Structure 1
C-alpha cells in the first residue's frame, strides 16, 4: 500500500461508545492547517484520535468495507444515550400531593471521555483568562461558593448591593458564547436532549473545589424552561425538595430526593422539577465542573444582544430514541391493544391442543409410576439398607453443588454490578436502593422536625 494512502479502522460497540480510529501515514513531515470554525465536537476530536493512533501498525485492509460516516456514527451514539424521565417524589404542596420531579430528565453518556477532556481543558483555559481579568463576567463566591463565568448575558443571582434586581442585566455587556459551547448546544438539540423550541443562547460555567456548594434556589424566570446542566470531572449529588432550606449550621435540610450526576451526563430541568422543587448542590467531595445552558426570554434580552446565526434552525436527528420507559411507539402500543380475532382463534386452538396433550402425558406418567411402584415395592423393601444411604449421599451432594453454584452466581453478579457492567436486574436494584435511601432521608428529616417541635413545646415558658 502506498505511503500517501489513508488506512482507516472502524470499531462499533453497540449499547456503549462508537469510535472511529483513523490513521494517516505521510511520506514526509508536513504542516497541515485545518479550519475548525464549523466542525462538530466529534470532528474537533478526530485529530486527537488520529494522533493517538499514529503509533499503531497496519490494520487489516478488510476493515475498509466496514467504515462508517460521521453522520452514521453520530446517529448510533445518539440512539444509545441512556435517558431517564420517570422520576417520582411525592410531596404535599399547597395542600395537594404532587410529583415534584415531574419534568426532570437525566441523559447519560452524552459526552465520551475524550470529549469531556476537550471541554474541561477549555474551561480551565477560560478560568485562567478570568483570573487574569481578560473576561468580563468571572468571579468567585465567598465562603463555600464556587467560581463562575457567564457567557451570552450578564445576570444577578439575587438583588445586588447597588440595587440591581435579580435576573438579566440588560445594560451590562458580557463575553459571547465560546464556539465550543455552541457546538455542545447543537449536540444537545440534535440528540433530543433539549427541544428545538428552546435552544440555549447563554450559559454559566461553575467550577467547584472540594467542599464548594450551591444553596437551595429556583432558577430565575428571566430564563425559559427547560434548561440543563452538563457535569464534568467528578460525580456529585443534586438534592430536590419543595421545603429545602439552609440550617444555622450551614447544612441543607428538607431535601426529599437526591440524584447522582455522572460525568458526561446532562440533567434537564422542566415543569415541577424546575418550578416546584428547589434544588441545591451539597458540598462536593472533589473538584467538579458544570455548564448550565439556558435560553433567555426575548423580553429580557440585553440591549446589545443579537441572536447567534450558528444556533439557528437546529433540528433533532430524525429517528426514535431509547428511553427508560417502553420501547414501543404509541402506534405499536395501540396495535398491541387492539383486538385481533384471527390471533385469538389461533390462541384458543393452540391452548386446547396443548392442554389435551398435557393431560394425556400426565395420565401416562401417573399410570406408569403406580404400576412401577407396585411391581418394584418388594425389591425396594428388600434393598432399603442400600437405597436410604445412597439417597442421603446424592441429596447431600446435590445440595452442596447447588449452594456452591448459587454462591458463585451471587458473587459474580455483585462483582459485575459494582464494576458498572449492568448485569440483569441491576436497574431494578438501583431503583430500589434509590427509593430506600430517599425514604430513609425523608423519614429522618420529618422525625428530626417532629422531635424538635416536641422539645420546643415541652420547654418551660419564659
Structure 2
C-alpha cells in the first residue's frame, strides 16, 4: 500500500520524537533537544528522498526515447494515417463509381464485352510483341559487343563452349583418319582375292 510522502514523513517525525523521548532518562529531555533531533532526522530523510528522486529521474532519462526515435515514430504514424486516408478515399470512390456506372454497364454490356475482349487481346499482343522486340534488341546488342571484343556477360562461357567444340571436332577428325587408315590398309588385302 502506497502512502503519500507527506503523510509518511509526518508519521515518521512523530515516531522519532516518541523514540527520542523514551530513549533518554527523564532529566535530559528538553523540547529544544527534541526539536534539534527531529530537524536532523528530517534533513537526513530529505537527503535520502532527494537521492532516490535523482536515481528515479536518471532511470527515466535512460529509458526515454531520444529525439531521432520520436521523430521516426511520428513519421511512421503520419505515413500510416496518410495511407489509411488515401485508401479510404480510393475505396469510397471505387464503390461510388461502381454504384453510378452499374446501370450503364448493364445497358451497354452487349457492346462493352466484345470491345473489352478485343482490347484485352490487342493489349496482350502488343505487350508480347514488345517483349520479343526487346529480347531481339538485347541479343543483337550482345552479339555486336561480343564481335567487337568487349566481353559482354556470358562471353567467357561462350568461348569455353567454342573451345570444347573445336577440341571435340579435332578429336573426331583424328579418329576418322585412324579409322580411314585402318580401313584402307584392310581394303587392298580384300581386293585382290575378290
How does the TM-score come out when normalised to structure 1?
0.17
Based on CA coordinates, which of the two structures has the bigger radius of gyration? 2
Structure 1 or 2: more helix by fraction: 2
The one of the two structures with greater contact order (alpha-carbon pairs below 8 A, sep at least 6) is 1
How does the TM-score come out when normalised to structure 2?
0.40
